[in-house]
Amino acid sequence: MTVKLNESALRHAKKLVRDGRVVHDERDDWSEHALPAKKETAWREEHGWGEYARWHLGIDTDENEETKAHYSFPFGDYEKVHRCAVISLESRAAQYDHDEIAAAAKELLELIDAE
């Protein structure tokens, strides 16, 4: 498994934060705020894989681009960035030694908290 930082998604997330499309929620809220799998699939089917990719900081280059396995570390609900999602992904990325993704999440969190 080769998970890399999705630079395009990071730029998209930063733009969303700068545009005020962010939810300033608490650390443990992500389990409640993340879309359920069926709704996420419906959203992806409507918007396509390219748009789906823009909402994930991690991409697994060993997986097919048109599978959910290719994408990891979501940072929002496909409308807004969620602070709780960024906190969660930073922790998970660090736990699994995805240092570049963890650093990007920390940078994103600092931007969110500065807004």
pLDDT tens for each residue of 10-41: 999 999 999 999 999 877 777 777 888 999 99
Report which of residues 19 and 115 the model is more confident about. 19
Residues whose CB is less than 8 angstroms from the CB of residue 70 and which lie 6 or more positions away in sequence, other chains included: 53, 59, 60, 63, 64
Q: What is the pTM of this model?
A: 0.93
pLDDT tens for each residue of 55-68: 999 999 999 999 99
pLDDT tens for each residue of 64-111: 999 999 999 999 999 999 999 999 999 999 999 999 999 999 999 999
* Distance of alpha carbon 115 from alpha carbon 113, whole angstroms: 6
Look at the chain and report how many structural domains it folds into: 1
- The domain in which residue 82 lies consists of 3-114
Q: Considering the chain, what percentage of its residues have pLDDT values greater than 90?
A: 86
